[in-house]
Structure 1
Amino acid sequence: MMAMDTGLQVWLDTVPGTRPSVIVPYVRSPENGTVRYQLSAVRQGRSGSSSIKQSGTVPMQADRPTALTRFSLSVGSQDQCRIELILFANGHPAGTYTFACPRNP
């Protein structure tokens, strides 16, 4: 999953062999700078609901993938789940990115 806005590439990756899944959002920029992020993940299912909220600031090097954070999330096959990232690059709004949550195998 990848989306592009203001020259940024944003995607999610999962750490292989982890249960519940460890999810790592990445960003790549064509220039050096800093990115501030606000992350929210919301899961709803038969067993109830859960949410994760994180924020932070991370330095970026040009054309190098940068991990913003990592978090774990268990998502069942019938659960509704989404992850939203709001990014600010070098102090300016850089986009809002929404992803479906990766599913546990």
Structure 2
Amino acid sequence: MMAADTNLQAWLDTVPGTQPSVVIPYVQSRENGIVRYQLNATKQGLGGISTINQSGDVQLKANTPTALTRFSLSVGERDQCKIELVLFANGNPAGSYQFECPRAQ
């Protein structure tokens, strides 16, 4: 069973050569366990505001990166954008992360 204060690492990766960008959030833990996640991506630009909300449970294997989900995101040069990821272990908050959105290159 995973403790709520388990040291979790979270990061974003993108699939190279995709337009719009395909974003994949990953989580890694030192212990096996189940983590619930809530992801919220918000983009604000000239075209208005768009949001992506996803949540679910994933089984983590100790010291192994685990993809939570994948989603597409098109962020323009002048858009404001952020990705928030909240993790829960055993029903308790286990980590909160904020990321800059990947931008088209």
Question: Is TM (by shorter chain) over 0.5?
Answer: yes
SS at match of 2:51: strand
**1:94 Cα deviation from its structure 2 partner:** 0.4
Structure 1 outlier segments of 4+, above 4 Å: none
User: What is residue 12 of structure 2 aligned with on the other side?
Assistant: 12
Alpha-carbon deviations, 1:8-57, whole Å to 9, x = none? 11000000111000000000000000110000000001122110000000
5 Å-filtered alignment, 1:62-101, equals: 62-101=62-101
Q: In structure 2, what residue type is equivalent to 1:94? A: A
Q: CA RMSD in A?
A: 1.1
Query: What code does the residue aligned with 2:80 have?
Result: Q
| Gap regions ≥5 residues in structure 1 | none
Question: SS of 1:16's equivalent?
Answer: coil
Taking structure 2 as the reference length, the TM-score comes to 0.92
TM-score of the superposed pair, with normalisation by structure 1? 0.92
Identity %: 68
CA distance in 2 between counterparts of 1:100 and 1:6 reads 24
After superposition, where does 1:39-78 map in structure 2 within 5 Å?
Answer: 39-78=39-78
Range moving further from structure 2, 83-92 or 35-44: 83-92
In 2, distance between residues paired with 1:62 and 1:82?
28
Contact 1:33–1:59 at 8 Å: present in 2 too? yes
Aligned length: 101
Q: CA deviation at 1:62?
A: 0.1
Structure 2: 5+ residue stretches without partners: none
